Structure 1
Amino acid sequence: MAKYSRPKKEKSSTLLLVVLILLVTLSLSSLTVLVLFRARERNTSDKVNFAVEQKKYFNRKNLDYLKQIQILQQITTGDANSGVEPVKGLLDRKKAEHANKESDKSTGVVTIESFFRWAVADLGTTEKSVLIAESDETTARNNEEHQSKAFLDLSEKLDDQIAIIKGEITKIDDDVEVKIEEFSRKKVEKDEALKTIQQEKEDIEARYEKQERDIKMEIKRLEELIRQNSVRKEPVTGMLEKQGYVMNPSRSAKTAYINLGTEDNLVLGMKFRVFTEVKAGVIKWKGMVEVKKILEQHRSEVSITNQSEAFEPIVDGDLITNPFYGRKDAKIIVLVGRFEEQNFPYFGNYSLEELKRRITGFNVKIADSVTVDTSFIVKGLRREESQTDEQNTEMATLLAIPQLSIKDLLDYLEY
């Protein structure tokens, strides 16, 4: 049985087809490489990823090229097992058949040799591309590290600036809080001051209205007094008040008690004249007592300093009086006339200042002019009166205010 042998023309066509496929594959690979290289214009992170992927791709292509070169070598040198005619013999035969033609341009017989040269050159280019990709990767990584370091430095600076700004904001907040508290405090103080002023204004208005009413009432009262005293122009010279009474007198011990005490505006050393009413409008003087001890609310011990008649001693129930004494309110008096020392032959060497001191010592107020509140006036021994004294005397007469002589008061003032 004869062995089947593939025609030589069919083998040549197959070889050319293989070569064309390889050329197309290499062209596509080159085109792919070109596209990948043009994609390097992306940002740093994309370039790094691209370079890594490109390197992997070129490694794979190198393996493919090596495999294809091995196949071509087998085809060129021939392979007894494959039954393929060696390429060299094929080329020699082709040269003999097409001797009159330009082999490089018309037949493409030398295309495989050119392909080898191109493949080697392309492999070098690929290796250069790989090196460039690795360099780009290194550069990208360096740039990334540089940018990362710059970012960290900038971040630290920003953190420092933010900390400074936060500190300033905190300080401003604290200052604002302090100013708000100070403003609130001043506002409260201002409101309180306004309330106080408003209250004082209302109080002043109320006092003014009351004083106005009181003055009107006082004017009416004075008009009535003037009307009553229009007929009688004589001064009131008498003054007698029943201010208390004597209790448990001891004739031998010359002591007694009175019904005035701590709640009765009593003063130690104050003297009272003792009297009794014989009948209506008729009194009898019995002596003098002086306060020695203030014991209780309405009880004090007194000494009997003077007794008018031995056969009419001071007894329980005898009345006491002192024109300077005010049980509830202090007396108000006005001094009229002159009060030199030589005018008091029975009063000792007291000056006018000493006289005033003794009077005020009994809780008595000395005023300069006569008013409706004046309790009485004290007239000096000498008649050399000033214009003010004349006005005070006339006003006391008009208002029916008692006018007492200093002679009638010395017994209450002496020690």
Structure 2
Amino acid sequence: MLLSPLALDLLVAALVGMAVGVEREWSGHTAGPDGRFAGARTFALLGAIGGFAGWFLRIDQPVLAAILAAAGATFPVVAYWSTMRRDGTTADGTTEVVAVLVVALGMASGLGHRTPAAAAAAITVVLLAEKSRVQNTLRRVDAHEMRAAIQFAVLALVILPVLPDAAYGPYDAFRPRQLWVVVLVFSALNFAGYIARRLIGETRGLGVTGLLGGLVSSTAVTLTFSRRSREEPQLALPLALGVVAACTVLVPRLFVIITMLRPELAVATIPVLLPALVAGVGVMAFVLWKERDTRPDTAEQTLADKPPTGAARGNGIGSNPLGLASSLQMAIAFQAVLFAIAWVQRNAGDTGVLASATLLGLTDMDALTVSMTRFANAPGNQRIAAAAIGVGMLANTALKSALVLTIGAPRYRIRAASGLAVLAVGSTIGLVLSWPR
């Protein structure tokens, strides 16, 4: 090797500091009346100080390490104090704070963690260089959006981890953590729809939201958009397009899962899944072609730039972009469906793999897909497993059609149900082509 591991650690420590120092000089923070204390060379030396402090810790010299680290961290503090004593100096301590961070990152590299140190330094440089863009983005975030982001962080990072990941209640159908994930999915869809609506307008925003939401749960998209169609009937077409997009993206998502878990089964599922994918893409292409001359007008752009009012607030899009109340209601309904399916499975029994796929496909295509990859472990079961996935997808489409017809507004029902019917025809063709004989 040209360089020993220790030499590489110390070199990365110095380069971490130099990268930050170069950005400080490039952005002009070292010149003028507000010029700060350090440029590329000083920052490189601070990184090296941190690197040697980490090395001293590795060779059991904690006193020397503490002295070096304290000296490196104290220097920016003293420099800031001296700078603030100058008349007319702007109170901005970014350079001094990042200097202390450079010492810490250099110390991490000196301890042998040069990859995390380099990654953290890269993120730091990006944050420093993109200061104006970050500030402009923050100015565009209103109080509703910031509050919703904080609430979602609490729901996902505080509440979710403490919920038990176990089964309770009749038929062990109540799983608190999985149910809370449903709440998070619905809330995330509401929030994503709100942001997309503001950024790119109604038709494009809802279509993109449905497409992305289908990567997580196409059933959740169908529930959310069907409910919203009653509160905002003028969005019937974009909401229906979002549902078709979510159900279409389900197909490649399942194929990716199968390919990762059982590549040989993926080959058997191609004739099952391909017709449905073609049908869904065809529906979306037809709608977009038909609406090709439609552009977001001034009124729509104005609507996209401010929180909606009236009925939209009932969906939590104005007062709460997460729509937390509606998300909880949908999770309760989802849990009721799980209890019902569990009762059917326990009392009626399964009449074979295909019958089980019909029941499981109603609510959880991912679970069905994973179980079929295990079932296809025997080569003779691959065609049955592929057909079971097709049956489950057809049952899942039937469930979404029922949701559309029972929850959606009249204009939305016609459009969404028609798109789902085309998808169902595609799934049926795939089953006919690949039915085990």
Same fold flag (TM > 0.5): no
TM-score, with length taken from structure 1? 0.19
More RCO (CA 8 Å, sep 6+): 2
Answer 1 or 2: which has greater helix percent: 2
Answer 1 or 2: which has greater strand percent: 1
TM-score, with length taken from structure 2? 0.19
